[in-house]
Amino acid sequence: MLGVDIGSTTTKAALVAVRDAVSVLRVARRPTPADVPALLDTVAALVRESTADAVEPIAAIGIASMAESGAALGADGAPLTDLLRWDRPVDPAHLDALLDAHPSLPASTGVPATTKPAAVALTALRAENPGAFAGMRHWAGVADLVAHALTGERATDHTLAARTMLAGRDGASWDADLARSLGIDLAVLPPLRAPGEPVGTTRAGAFGMDAGIPVFVAGHDHAVGAWAVGARHPGDAADSLGTAEAIVRITGTVDVARAVADGFSVGRTVDGSARTILGGSRACGAMLSWWEAEHPGDRAIERLAAMPADRWISSPLVVLPYPAGRQCPRPDAGARVHLNGTADDADTRARAVLQSLVAHARWMRESADTLAGAPSTHLTVLGSLAERIPSWAPLIAASGVSASLCSISEPVAAGAALLAGVRAEVIPADIVLPRAAVTPAGDAGFEDIHRRFLAAVSAEGEQ
């Protein structure tokens, strides 16, 4: 099976085999481009590279991607815009205009009121580039663009549709009344495939593939990663570490209005069997990069990579890790990085940054647990940062939750491949990426660290 993951920073393709266990045979990576032709060229190159040594036919292809990102296309399929990404700058007036007309939209869709969704992007496009808006005949998310290039068919899945704010929180159908109010013909939006339904099959020669391979839009990258590591049933949770961080909590029920007011998104698992509460933070790898840029002499990432978890020494400092606002809990667009305390040595500052990132993630998870009505029963950590910084997962495990770590690289790309294989019925439905139990870091005052972190957040909010 082949999996593609179109991320905010990097696009990956993974060739995966399932025999006695899951094996990632080859991974290819490149930076994610900003425009549609370059994106398709990049994915085509990665597909060819990752499958160059394949000795067996590709049984299925799955495509995961960042959500809330896409492009307007003309009648001939040519792009009228660059990729309109989730992290693009957008005038908040467009969000205000949308909510003035549809005040219940966040609660009805399970998507917090931010400038990220396609509903806001298209509202902005209509106001700022009316020519492109008038010429738009298709709107396609990034995963949909790749699926179309492979199959000639346009479609998306429920997890990506739900994040547009143009479909209900289940992503089962487009909201015709809302689309009409925005001046969008429903024919512009991609058809919705039910969980398990392929977009189509590959055209001969597309990205170097043989004809007839089933292609699936696997879905939102965080939802795909959670499913892939076994977070599929109420009580399960996943912590995805990347440029941004996401906590995905699986639940049966949730107060949607309360969740979105606190900055969380509510959707469905990729298989449609349960609800998800998703908490996101831009302050993960991006926070480490920010610290490296602001304090290059600290070499924080290098120092953290060399710190063994079994000899972890807590830092007395607290860092509010928000280089670009806080999404949840207690959304605050004005939140910024703040260092509480002083220290002369770089080790102490580096440990403070990591501790505070872990504390914020715990705050997200425990807030999601409150929304779900029960504590998480198990948490699986995934992402390359957990490999690069060996103390990260043990610090997470020290927060009092049973934890495991996905032990393969590029779990979202590999997960998209697994999901495609399950949907094509060539591998068992209960397949999970390999995981290993995490031994918590030794007791180094983590409860006190967490209390001090929450106190610092509260004090900053009162200023």
pLDDT tens across 127-176, in order? Answer: 999 999 999 999 999 999 999 999 999 999 999 999 999 998 889 999 99
Q: Looking at the domain assignment, is residue 312 inside a domain?
A: yes
pLDDT band for position 396 (cuts 50, 70, 90): very high
Q: Kindly list the distances between the CA atom of residue 351 and the CA atoms of 200, 280, 303, in Å, as whole numbers in the listed order.
A: 48, 22, 9
pLDDT band for position 399 (cuts 50, 70, 90): confident
Last residue of a domain, one of 177, 195, 221: 221
Return d(Cα 354, Cα 334) in angstroms, integer.
22
The residue among 244 and 461 whose pLDDT is bigger is 244
What pLDDT is attached to residue 168? 83
Helix segments in 251-299, DSSP class H: 256-261, 285-294
Same domain membership, residue 170 and residue 293: no
Burial readout 32-62 (b: 16 or more C-beta within 10 A, e: otherwise) = bbeebeebbebbbbbbebbbeeeeeebbbbb
Is the preceding omega at residue 329 within 30 degrees of 0, hence cis? yes
pLDDT at 223 over 90: yes
pLDDT band for position 446 (cuts 50, 70, 90): confident
pLDDT band for position 344 (cuts 50, 70, 90): confident
The mean pLDDT value for 396-417 works out to 93
Same domain membership, residue 243 and residue 217: no
Same domain membership, residue 211 and residue 261: no
Count of domains in the chain? 2
What pLDDT is attached to residue 81? 97
Q: Looking at the domain assignment, is residue 227 inside a domain?
A: no
Q: Looking at the domain assignment, is residue 332 inside a domain?
A: yes
DSSP per-residue codes, 128-191: H-HHHHHH--EEEEHHHHHHHHHHS---B-HHHHHTTTSB-TT-SSB-HHHHHHTT--GGGSPP
What pLDDT is attached to residue 423? 97
- Count other Cβ atoms within 10 Å, centred on residue 211: 10
Same domain membership, residue 181 and residue 86: yes
Q: What are the φ/ψ torsions at residue 9 (nearest 5 degrees)? A: -105, -45
Same domain membership, residue 184 and residue 244: no
Q: Looking at the domain assignment, is residue 94 inside a domain?
A: yes
Same domain membership, residue 149 and residue 97: yes
Same domain membership, residue 357 and residue 305: yes
- One-letter amino acid at 56 equals E
Q: Looking at the domain assignment, is residue 419 inside a domain?
A: no
What pLDDT is attached to residue 363? 97
Global pTM? 0.94
Last residue of a domain, one of 221, 240, 264: 221
What is the residue-averaged pLDDT of the chain?
94
Q: Looking at the domain assignment, is residue 434 inside a domain?
A: yes
Last residue of a domain, one of 221, 254, 269: 221
What pLDDT is attached to residue 249? 98
The mean pLDDT value for 163-192 works out to 94
> Alpha-carbon torsion 205, 214, 236, 404, what sign?
negative
Same domain membership, residue 272 and residue 182: no
Q: If residue 457 lies in a helix (H) or strand (E), which one and from where to where? A: helix 446-462
> Alpha-carbon torsion 350, 353, 354, 359, what sign?
positive
Asked if residues 59 and 201 have their Cβ atoms less than 8 Å apart, the reply is no
The SS3 of residue 37 is helix
Return d(Cα 325, Cα 262) in angstroms, integer.
14
Q: Looking at the domain assignment, is residue 63 inside a domain?
A: yes
The SS3 of residue 445 is coil
Q: Kindly list the distances between the CA atom of residue 252 and the CA atoms of 167, 169, 170, 275, 369, in Å, as whole numbers in the listed order.
A: 20, 14, 13, 6, 12
Same domain membership, residue 248 and residue 165: no
What pLDDT is attached to residue 96? 96
pLDDT band for position 300 (cuts 50, 70, 90): very high
Return d(Cα 368, Cα 79) in angstroms, integer.
38
pLDDT band for position 444 (cuts 50, 70, 90): low
pLDDT band for position 11 (cuts 50, 70, 90): very high
User: pLDDT per residue over 45-76, tens digit each?
Assistant: 999 999 998 889 999 999 999 999 999 999 99
Which CATH number belongs to the domain containing residue 105 in this structure? 3.30.420.40
Same domain membership, residue 203 and residue 241: no
The mean pLDDT value for 318-335 works out to 95
Give the distance, in angstroms, between the CA of residue 7 and the centroid of all CA atoms in the same chain. 8
Same domain membership, residue 214 and residue 255: no
Q: Looking at the domain assignment, is residue 250 inside a domain?
A: yes
Return d(Cα 257, Cα 151) in angstroms, integer.
38
Return d(Cα 375, Cα 164) in angstroms, integer.
29
Same domain membership, residue 121 and residue 59: yes
What pLDDT is attached to residue 443? 67
**Domain that residue 245 falls in:** 232-412+424-462
The mean pLDDT value for 307-318 works out to 89
Return d(Cα 77, Cα 87) in angstroms, integer.
24
End-to-end alpha carbon distance in the chain: 53
> Alpha-carbon torsion 407, 413, 417, 418, what sign?
positive
What pLDDT is attached to residue 311? 83
